[in-house]
Each structure stands twice: as C-alpha cells, then as structure tokens.
Structure 1
C-alpha cells in the first residue's frame, strides 16, 4: 500500500497561513515604528472605544485569556500608555484606562491600521472585497462566530 502525503503548497490552509503571516508581519513593522505590537494596539483601541475597562472585560472583548491581557497591560503601563487603579466597587478588580500619551497614540495607530488595510486590500474591486468578506464570514460561521452585516457592506477606511 502506497501512502500519499500531500505537499503543503497543495493545501489551501498553507496559502491562507502565508497571507496571514504576511499581513501580520507588515502590521508588526508598521506598529513597531510606534513602539507597540498589534496585540497592544487591540487593547489600547478597546479602551479608547470603551469596550471594557477591567482585565476580565477586555479579555472577553478581545477573546484572550486574563493572563494575556494582564501581560499586555503590564507592558503598556511600563510604556506609560495605560494606567491601573483599584475598582472602587470591587476590591479584587483593577480598572484600566488610557494615559494622555495612550489616548494621543490610539488615533495614530488606528490611521496606520487603516493604511495597512488599504495597502493590502485596496487593489481589490468592491465586488472582490465583498466576496472575500463573505467567504471569511462563511468560514467563521463554522466556528460559531462571524462579522455583522454592517461590516460586510463597509468599504475600506
């Protein structure tokens, strides 16, 4: 019996991973110029949007575990971008907030994230971008999640 093992390059997942790696590397390079990582930006943006202000809340919003959010907050606090203060209503909880420097940095990072998207996806027509988004949404439905209709209709920023 002959066993056939397919080459990585024959699999869709291989090319999906390559695109994902290239996108992530470019975003890391862009944000590196500001001294933050994409994950740190996600935490800063969540605070700026008021998605949550506790480690538990941020973890839920970003779909990370609490330890990961704590490590991100530690690094951002060391950079002077995030402040911690005890929660006045729950002595076991800590509230996170943006410092002035953090609040000033978020719009710059958000603009860089938009430039990153335009650089990678701006060459697609509206129909191609919509089809790509629909494909992503269909795949994510298998994981029980996915974007909303507004995102599917939105053009690039």
Structure 2
C-alpha cells in the first residue's frame, strides 16, 4: 500500500538521521567540538571573518548565544577575535591556524564520507535521491514549526 511505503520511507529517513547524528557527534567530540560550535565554524569557512552580530544572524541564534559559542571556540583555540578594520565598535571572529586546519580536515572527511556512501550508486539513482531529498527539504522548510502545518504564504 502507498501509505505503508510512505511510513517505510519515513522510518528509513529517521534511522538515517539518527545514524548520521551519532557518527557526527562522536567525530566532533574527538576534536572537542559540538554541533553548534561546528555550525559556527562552517559559517566562518563559507563567509570568512565575520562580526558576531552577522554570525548570530547566519546561525539564527541570539547575540548572547553566539557570544557563548565564540567564547568556547576561542578558549579551545579554534577562533580568535580581531579588531574590525572599519568599525571600531565591532570585532571580527576569525580562524586560528588550529581552527582552519580542523575545518579543512572536516571538509576532507566529508568528501570521503560522501564517496563511501555514494560512489557505488549509479548516477541516475543518485540524481533521483538528491531530487527526492530536495523535495522533502523544501516541504519541511515551508512548514510553520509551531504548528507543523504549511505557513500562510504556502497555502
């Protein structure tokens, strides 16, 4: 039945989320990182040195939360705060050498993991998988988190 196939698909996605989350959490812990701190590092990698207010916006967290994340990353040697070149009131969060090496190693690990998961999959099947996941992600992004219903603009 179609309903059973949908439940089976959801069960598989949920199992995949749990397995990947467990693997990621263990891997990050080896480097002394958390998922939240790593998200901040990825944003720095994507955008370069940034003021904390811009990091807060990119991470969709409060300024207070980003301060705590940066404090933790600075204390463990992943980032530093530098004076902003044009705004005396702002500081830029930037990578230390350790932080940059760590993010580069994570990028390498991500490529290896992608190869492990998808190298043996035919291109057409991988294209179907990514298209289907894209549809699911777009649908989820359109849900109002408070009600888990489509937001007003999506109706």
Identify the residue that residue 32 of structure 1 maps to in structure 2: 29
The reply to whether residue 89 of structure 1 matches residue 104 of structure 2 is: no
Conserved? CA contact 1:80–1:101, under 8 Å: yes
Conserved? CA contact 2:36–2:69, under 8 Å: yes
Conserved? CA contact 1:46–1:52, under 8 Å: no
Correspondent of 1:48 among 31, 45, 53: 45
Q: CA RMSD in A?
A: 2.7
Q: CA deviation at 1:20?
A: 0.7
The reply to whether residue 98 of structure 1 matches residue 121 of structure 2 is: no
Identify the residue that residue 111 of structure 2 maps to in structure 1: 114
Identify the residue that residue 154 of structure 1 maps to in structure 2: none
The reply to whether residue 124 of structure 1 matches residue 121 of structure 2 is: yes
| Highest RCO, 1 vs 2 (Cα 8 Å, sep ≥ 6) | 1
Deviations 1:25-45 (A, max 9, x none): 112222333222343233223
Assess, with a 3 A threshold, how the Cα gap between structure 1 residues 126 and 60 changes in structure 2: closer, same or farther: farther
